[in-house]
Amino acid sequence: MALALGDPDDGYYITRDPLGRAGDFVTAPEISQMFGEIVGIWLVEAWRALGAPLPVRLVELGPGRGTLMADILRVIARLAPSLAAGLDLHLVETSPALRARQAAVLASSGITPSWHSAFAEVPAGPMLLVANEFFDALPIRQFVQADGTWRERVVGLDDDGRLAFGLGPGALVGDAPARLLREAEPGAVLEVSPASTAVMNAIAERIAREGGAALAIDYGHAETALGDTFQAVKAHAFADPLAEPGSADLTAHVDFGALARAARAAGAGVLGPITQGDFLLAMGLLERAGRLGAPLDEAGREAIRAAVERLAGPQQMGTLFKVMAVVPTPIGVAPFPG
Ligand SMILES: C[S@@+](CC[C@H](N)C(=O)[O-])C[C@H]1O[C@@H](n2cnc3c(N)ncnc32)[C@H](O)[C@@H]1O
């Protein structure tokens, strides 16, 4: 999974901009500016609740086309000019194609970002961090319950020399709750993402030590659960993940239970996760939609209504996507709906 997505020559993200209607998938910031504006409001409120530290790092993991950050920066400039003047911007991005796109989109903000290949390269200090649809792109490992033991699912070659799934001897890793493992039926699949928990652990460790707040938004489950969620998506449709490695987006649902444990283990506090629908509605999505739609004609208002439905509707992104915040303890400093 890591090679298919990140190989320096042929990795899926390295060779293209996969977002948008002409690409393989559409993300929330690409649906409407309202998403990034609301995330920006949360970051401003969190910064104030933390005592308005300056200077402060504004960090985004996996910024895609830069749309989310452009919307966040516009809101910060309007609501908190001193924060806008005192922040430095750090983008963690492995894709040269998307770095170029981010540079172009953010040029008009007047803030010059620094790019990094990994979170560990972001300089120390208080930070406000956002990661939308970042953790789902990090590699997972799958373990299958077979005859009372957990065996790792591996990729090998079948008799015809084609890539095929099989079972290896690997011993179970991770910290899934013992009850979940005990009750698993034969054939049950457990997914773990050591890459994701390592990044979350490092973020939380820094927030606990130096102050700050992080918001992780992604599709996934609030508690660790069994199930095979590994998927390939190409041109807005599901694809065979082994058919053409490097040509399709590979993802898995994010285990927010595991991310929360990783954050708490590092000494930080966790707020949520709650659903994206609850988060956006509590943060004023409908009010913002009303303001944006007021000067528009009926077609314009309908487009905004459709965007609200897509972002917050239970059949769309509203329930599947979750929002989780990481803050210093004692918590209660950063506002969080619900
Ligand atoms: C699904 S896109 C989400 C883009 C953006 N956050 C949005 O919401 O539109 C995933 C992003 O993470 C980046 N990415 C994927 N794997 C990464 C890794 N290991 N380290 C840093 N960035 C990565 C991709 O290049 C892309 O910018």
233 Cα to the center of ligand 1, angstroms: 15
CATH number of 64's domain? 3.40.50.12710
Q: Is residue 269 part of a domain?
A: yes
> What is the predicted pLDDT for the residue at 189?
97
Buried b (16+ CB within 10 A) or exposed e, 208-232: beebbbbbbbbbbbbebbbeebbeb
Residue nearest to atom 2 of ligand 1 (CA): 64
Cβ atoms < 10 Å from Cβ of 160: 6
> What is the predicted pLDDT for the residue at 229?
97
Q: What is the pLDDT of residues 95-125, one digit of tens each?
A: 999 999 999 999 999 999 999 999 999 999 9
Boundary (domain end) residue, out of 162, 191, 220: 191
- With a 6 A CB cut-off, is 98 part of the ligand 1 pocket? yes
**Whether residue 50 is found in the same domain as residue 106:** yes
Q: What is the pLDDT of residues 34-58, one digit of tens each?
A: 999 999 999 999 999 999 999 999 9
Q: Is residue 179 part of a domain?
A: yes
163 Cα to the center of ligand 1, angstroms: 26
**Whether residue 114 is found in the same domain as residue 197:** yes
**Whether residue 123 is found in the same domain as residue 220:** yes
Non-local CB neighbours of 6 within 8 Å, separated by 6+ positions: 12, 13, 14, 94
**Whether residue 122 is found in the same domain as residue 42:** yes
Question: Which residues sit opposite 217 in a β-bridge?
Answer: 132, 323
102 Cα to the center of ligand 1, angstroms: 12
Q: Is residue 333 part of a domain?
A: no
> Which sign does the torsion angle of CA 113, 119, 125, 128 carry?
positive
> Which of 5, 12, 13, when mutated, tests ligand 1's pocket best, judged by the most ligand atoms within 8 Å of its CB?
13
CA distance 158 to 169: 18
**Whether residue 85 is found in the same domain as residue 220:** yes
**pLDDT grade for 337, boundaries at 50, 70 and 90:** confident
**Whether residue 77 is found in the same domain as residue 220:** yes
Q: Is residue 66 part of a domain?
A: yes
Residue 334 scores a pLDDT above 60: no
Q: Is residue 110 part of a domain?
A: yes
Boundary (domain end) residue, out of 126, 156, 191: 191
> Which of 27, 93, 234, when mutated, tests ligand 1's pocket best, judged by the most ligand atoms within 8 Å of its CB?
93
**Whether residue 108 is found in the same domain as residue 147:** no
Q: In what order do the strands lie in the sheet with 141-146?
A: 163-167, 149-157, 141-146, 189-192
**Whether residue 151 is found in the same domain as residue 228:** no
CA–CA–CA angle 320, 43, 102 (5° rounding): 80
**Whether residue 262 is found in the same domain as residue 295:** yes
Boundary (domain end) residue, out of 153, 174, 191: 191
**Whether residue 217 is found in the same domain as residue 162:** no
C-alpha distances (whole Å) from 254 to each of 69, 135, 142 are: 22, 7, 13
Residue nearest to atom 18 of ligand 1 (CA): 94
- With a 6 A CB cut-off, is 30 part of the ligand 1 pocket? yes
Q: Is residue 338 part of a domain?
A: no
- With a 6 A CB cut-off, is 59 part of the ligand 1 pocket? no
Is-contact 100 29, C-beta < 8 A?
no
The torsion angles phi and psi of 31, rounded to 5 degrees, stand at -80, -45
The pLDDT of 188-198, averaged and rounded, is 98
What is the span of the domain harbouring residue 101?
2-139+193-327
Which of 36, 44, 41 is closest to 83 using CA atoms?
44
**pLDDT grade for 148, boundaries at 50, 70 and 90:** confident
Is-contact 283 260, C-beta < 8 A?
no
**Whether residue 174 is found in the same domain as residue 211:** no
> Which of 102, 134, 253, when mutated, tests ligand 1's pocket best, judged by the most ligand atoms within 8 Å of its CB?
134
> Which of 15, 95, 136, 234, when mutated, tests ligand 1's pocket best, judged by the most ligand atoms within 8 Å of its CB?
95
**Whether residue 81 is found in the same domain as residue 182:** no
Number of domains into which the chain is organized: 2
Chain mean pLDDT for the chain: 94
Residue nearest to atom 4 of ligand 1 (CA): 64
34 Cα to the center of ligand 1, angstroms: 20
**pLDDT grade for 331, boundaries at 50, 70 and 90:** low
Cβ atoms < 10 Å from Cβ of 57: 21
Which of 127, 119, 95, 276 is closest to 200 using CA atoms?
119
63 Cα to the center of ligand 1, angstroms: 6
Q: Is residue 283 part of a domain?
A: yes
Q: Is residue 336 part of a domain?
A: no
